[in-house]
Structure 1
Amino acid sequence: MGLPVATLKKGEGRMLKAGGLWVFDNEIAAVTEDAVNGELIMVEDFDGYPMGTGFYNSNSKITIRMMSRNKDAVIDEAFLRERVQAAWNYRKRTVDISSCRVIFGEADFLPGLVVDKFSDVLVVQSLAMGIDRMKETILRLLIEAMLEDGIHIRGVYERSDAKVRRQEGMQPWKGFLSEPFDPKVQIVENGVKYIVDVEEGQKTGFFLDQKYNRLSIHKICQGMDVLDCFTHTGSFALNAGIAGAKSVLGIDASQLAVDQATENAKLNGLQEVVKFQCEDVFALLPRLEAEGRKFDVIILDPPAFTKSRSSVKNAVKGYREINLRAMKLLKDGGFLATCSCSHFMTYELFTQTIGQAAKNVHKRLRQVEYRHQAPDHPILWAAEESYYLKFYIFQVMNQP
């Protein structure tokens, strides 16, 4: 007996036909009665042409997440082993695998699943019903692939506590998928030591996507006074400190994050150089300006100000405000490292917003470099959602 079938409306499925992996609810004309949420379904164009196989879920606006374009594909353990091995091989070729994102959902053709490796621990986040039913098999295959390279994984923790799971008809959940272990895991990245709290930290515990962007600030921070805004657990601040900054001030609105960042500073012997404060960045920047404070380098790594198209306008205001304030706090010729981690804040819009901020405060920008997320978070062309992190370094100068 064959798979259930979803038939697209005439003229729909444009994203799918361009190479994307999602089919939305409003693109589907009909679904056969034997379709079951979380199970596989065949997708056909309006004229019956086979488009491939994916997971079906009527609870979600993303009703089908594609697994294969091959109409004859069998989604079994052998299929999953091939996908997992390809993901692991890619990381071995492109990044430092001591700590990295090993599976990045759609960009690794395993939609809805994220797996991060922190030293010898894996953290998994499962956000789609279909892949959730396969996660234990995928994790076993991944651990086996790593073991073949002499890498022993001592534990697995699940951080599927994101609210978005409710949109898939699943409850948020977190907990051990292995024998319990100390959830505070020490890692080393760019020569900096961190304690990653996989149980209570944000998302999977640590933002691996900025790894090489953090490395890129080393040269500009040597001997400088640095301000790191939205520091989280201190990653940019500590990179500035280890690179030889004269002083570093890290700011975050979360006392828990500030406490973790302070512990990380001690771990690296940087507690005399790198200091942290619990403050609202939007309130602090005008106050520092009023006090006449100036910095050589300012880093802006805010959380996503928008998670939907409907709130982009307010997000633009937020990004413009913090960049404008930062430019005013920089010494003439100082450096601004600024980024956005929102998919909906596009490269073009982010670039335009920074330009407007500079114009408003009569500053000239000299671009040092433009970067995006680390290669272990690959950008899959045609899957727009996989390109989300934009990162600039500018030299900020007064108008001559």
Structure 2
Amino acid sequence: MTQTAPPARPRLRLKVTPAAQTHLRSGHPWLYESSVKSQNRPGEAGELAVVLDRQERFLAIGLYDPLSPLRLRALHVGSPVTIDAAWWAEHLDTALARRDGLFDEYTDGYRLINGESDLWPGLVLDRYGSTLVLKLYTAAWFPHLKMVLELLSRRFPDYAVVLRLSRNIQPLAAQFEFGGPGFGNSGFGGPGLHDGQVVQGQLEGETVLFSESGLRFEADVVRGQKTGFFLDQRENRRKVEALSQGRRVLNAFSFTGGFSLYAARGGATSVLSLDLSQHSLAGAKHNFALNPELVQVGHQTLQADVFRWLQEPQESFGLIVLDPPSLARRESDRAAAIAAYGTLAEDAVRLLNRGGILVSASCSAHVSEREFYAAVRGAVQRSGRGSVELETTGHAPDHHATFAEAEYLKAIFIQVF
């Protein structure tokens, strides 16, 4: 008996609210569940769904995710376009070309794809030496993972690729059935994915070494925060280096000592790395050991709650870096986070000697630049000390942001007298 193939399903089509149409046309890449008025059939994670305008004409196409409130991540808005292998290859090459000329041979740790801002929504790709870390924030990428790895294997044939997964999609990843041949050149295939999985090439251990501005660092690419290191603060670390000559430096929320190493190379008389995590402080010590030329600078680590420690009597410093983790992970945290930024700055200013410099940073997307800068400036004003605002900074060029929700990083440099 002759078997016939099942009929092809019609393209998934969404009709959305007028406000959502306006947002898509203005370049915003997200479509929320509440904005979908109707659709022609149920959709699966990773399907390419078309958004129709009020005249039922093509408006946009994107990755559909039925399990997320963020229902669609736009890939293209405007005239109809075919999303095929050539389209993906072109957009990968465009993202890579955007980084051409940004870094010299002294830096081999940086971002290659920055999610929506590089038209790869919900996907981040970072380089650490000869290792790539691919982080996914939506299950919509699971059906396309083989294609992504094939593209990477052609452009980075000798690199290992580590898969990192946002916590909310890890249970889904473990259940995903792949089938077919292995991925990339790793022989990887079969059911299930897990966070920290090596999906291409080989990796010796869980950490890799990379260079940033000529300094050596270790990145925990398998289990570390983000993709293993905070690459987005690179330019601010360079600025701290230029300001550290002859100063006693405190690096609060130090993580593995990124700002500390730059301050030491910049001529700091001493550097104190302060963090609640003993594991992070051990990483800071190890990073200093990777750079023996910094041995002449007195580097100490201290495990403590930064908020409490700053409120206790301490010796003064010539430069203090405040770089806490996100204090507002959701909109409901925003008011408390703004108050916390002000408290941190107020307590830090009390520990600055005359002419000392405060460097305060925020990675909380729910706190705007205006709100964050106002909190820090207000704290300095309340101290009654004279001050000069040196500069404010935003995203590093390899972490460029093209829409409001992607603009999370901001920092302010203030000198007090």
Counterpart of 1:389?
A: 409
Quick check: 1:5–1:35 contact (8 Å CA) kept in 2? no
Q: Which stretch of structure 1 is more off in the superposition, 184-193 or 267-276? A: 267-276
Quick check: 1:102–1:117 contact (8 Å CA) kept in 2? yes
Quick check: 2:25–2:77 contact (8 Å CA) kept in 1? no
In the TM superposition, 1:172-191 aligns within 5 A as: 173-182=195-204, 183-191=206-214
Q: Helix, strand or coil: the match of 2:61?
A: strand
1:188 & 1:313 partners in 2: Cα distance?
38
Quick check: 2:195–2:222 contact (8 Å CA) kept in 1? no
Say whether 1:6 aligns with 2:14.
yes
Say whether 1:56 aligns with 2:64.
yes
Deviation of residue 392 (structure 1)? 1.3
Deviation of residue 273 (structure 1)? 1.6
2:121 & 2:396 partners in 1: Cα distance?
19
Letter paired with 1:126: L
| Distance 1:35-1:61 versus aligned 2 partners, 3 A rule | same
| Distance 1:94-1:191 versus aligned 2 partners, 3 A rule | closer
Deviation of residue 70 (structure 1)? 4.5
What residue ranges of structure 1 are gaps of 5+ in the alignment?
A: none
> 136, 142, 145: which is aligned to 1:135?
145
Which stretches of structure 1, 4 residues or longer, exceed 6 Å deviation after superposition?
none
Q: Helix, strand or coil: the match of 2:256?
A: coil
Q: Which stretch of structure 1 is more off in the superposition, 261-270 or 106-115? A: 261-270
1:95 & 1:191 partners in 2: Cα distance?
11
Q: Helix, strand or coil: the match of 2:203?
A: coil
Counterpart of 1:279?
A: 304
How many residue pairs end up in the alignment?
385
Counterpart of 2:349?
A: 327
Counterpart of 2:124?
A: 114
2:298 & 2:381 partners in 1: Cα distance?
34
Q: Which stretch of structure 1 is more off in the superposition, 11-20 or 49-58? A: 11-20
Deviation of residue 51 (structure 1)? 1.1
CA RMSD between the two structures: 1.8
Letter paired with 1:235: G
> 163, 167, 171: which is aligned to 1:163?
167
Deviation of residue 169 (structure 1)? 5.2
Quick check: 1:81–1:138 contact (8 Å CA) kept in 2? no
Letter paired with 2:99: R
Say whether 1:211 aligns with 2:234.
yes
Higher RCO (C-alpha under 8 Å, 6+ residues apart): 1
Say whether 1:372 aligns with 2:402.
no
User: TM-score if structure 2 supplies the norm length?
Assistant: 0.88
Letter paired with 1:164: N
| Distance 1:42-1:224 versus aligned 2 partners, 3 A rule | same
Q: Helix, strand or coil: the match of 1:196?
A: strand
1:37 & 1:217 partners in 2: Cα distance?
44
What residue ranges of structure 2 are gaps of 5+ in the alignment?
A: 1-7, 175-193
Q: Helix, strand or coil: the match of 2:386?
A: strand
Counterpart of 1:237?
A: 260
Q: Helix, strand or coil: the match of 2:283?
A: helix
Letter paired with 1:369: E
Quick check: 2:113–2:124 contact (8 Å CA) kept in 1? yes
User: TM-score if structure 1 supplies the norm length?
Assistant: 0.91
2:21 & 2:305 partners in 1: Cα distance?
44
Counterpart of 2:187?
A: none
Quick check: 1:126–1:135 contact (8 Å CA) kept in 2? no
Deviation of residue 173 (structure 1)? 2.7
Deviation of residue 305 (structure 1)? 0.2
